[in-house]
Amino acid sequence: MALRSAGIHHVTAIATDPQTNVDFFTGVLGLRLVKKTVNFDDPGSYHFYFGDQTGRPGTIMTLFAWPGGRRGSRGAGQVTVTSFQVPPDSMPFWEQRLADSGVVREPVSDRFGAPALVFYDPDGLKLELVAAESATGLPAWEDGPIDAQHAIRGFHAVTLTVRRPEKTERVLTEQMGFSREGTEGDRTRLVAGEPSHPGRHVELLPSDEGMGNIAAGTVHHVAFRAADDDAQLAFRAGLIDAGLHVTDVRERHYFRSIYFREPSGVLFEIATDGPGFPVDEPVESLGSELKLPDWLEPQRERIAEALPPVQVRAEVAG
């Protein structure tokens, strides 16, 4: 019997200009910058975490900001769309907001019975808003910049473009506790977790196209939830038994992580739900200061001098 993940923990993508990135995700999409830190493996660059009021698992979009980075390309072996959910009656609001902000977008379409609006961030990252019934049962950020009746309520899904969807599906169902919810055309939707969890869905889209190029404007990896350290280690043991190469546990300060590539090449992470983002600053001031893990604190002055200043501006859209 496979362990059962509660769904998506976070999605990590690559950006270029840090201030433009913060402006888009906070000022246009109305997410909260819950952590301003650095890439622990490359401390000369920012790592931003955007989410709901406290950065709950299932709401966290994270970005590595690499100024001057080359543009990537979407293709097989990638997360090609990251979908957020909004309340069912809020699509007209979002169409107008994105139009007023000059955001590149596509016409609203229908998928699995719900309106879906594809749009792109300033680096070309492909994103989507889904007007989902499930959003009504999820909390909005209290006192956030967008009224709760329209605000983003965390993730809805990620779309994996893969050459071997049956093998990807097998890992997700047999090792991670997802189940098949339905199909639409050549698209397969899987589901995990409970209705009270954001980020429950993974959609598989088969493709014969070339492999994508991971760089600015693309997703680096998707992380799935493990309730705690014991659950994470159990996931790891099961994945290794299934013949997958899995990293050792890595300390990310706000959670612990393991990584592996599923059979079609998408980089998966399994991250613990805790300890969470309030571990090193209070909820009311999340994201207001540069935070570093203990092992980087001795280098704080040098790291801070190398990073360009960024700020959360009250309003960017409109």
* Vertex 100 angle, CA 98 and 101, to 5°: 65
Residues 104 and 59: beta-carbon distance below 8 Å: no
Q: Which CATH code, of 3.40.50.2300, 3.10.180.10, 3.40.50.720, 3.40.50.150, is assigned to 8-306?
A: 3.10.180.10
Give the rounded distance of the alpha carbon of 316 from its chain centre. 22
228: CB partners within 8 A, 6+ apart: 272, 273, 274
DSSP state of 277: G
pTM of the model: 0.97
CB atoms within 10 A of CB 242: 15
pLDDT tens, residue order, the chain (318 aa): 468 999 999 999 999 999 999 999 999 999 999 999 999 988 999 999 999 999 999 999 999 999 999 999 999 999 999 999 999 999 999 999 999 999 999 999 999 999 999 999 999 999 999 999 999 999 999 889 999 999 999 999 999 999 999 999 999 999 999 999 999 999 999 999 999 999 999 999 999 989 999 999 999 999 999 999 999 999 999 999 999 999 999 999 999 999 999 999 999 999 999 999 999 999 999 999 999 999 999 999 999 999 999 999 865 543
Compute CA distances 96 → 103, 134, 150, 172, whole Å. 10, 22, 12, 37
Q: Note every long-range contact of 250-255, with CB atoms under 8 Å and residues 24 or more positions apart, other chains counting.
A: 251/293, 252/40, 253/37, 253/40, 253/279, 253/280, 253/293, 254/35, 254/49, 254/55, 254/279, 255/9
Give the rounded distance of the alpha carbon of 91 from its chain centre. 21
Give the rounded distance of the alpha carbon of 315 from its chain centre. 23
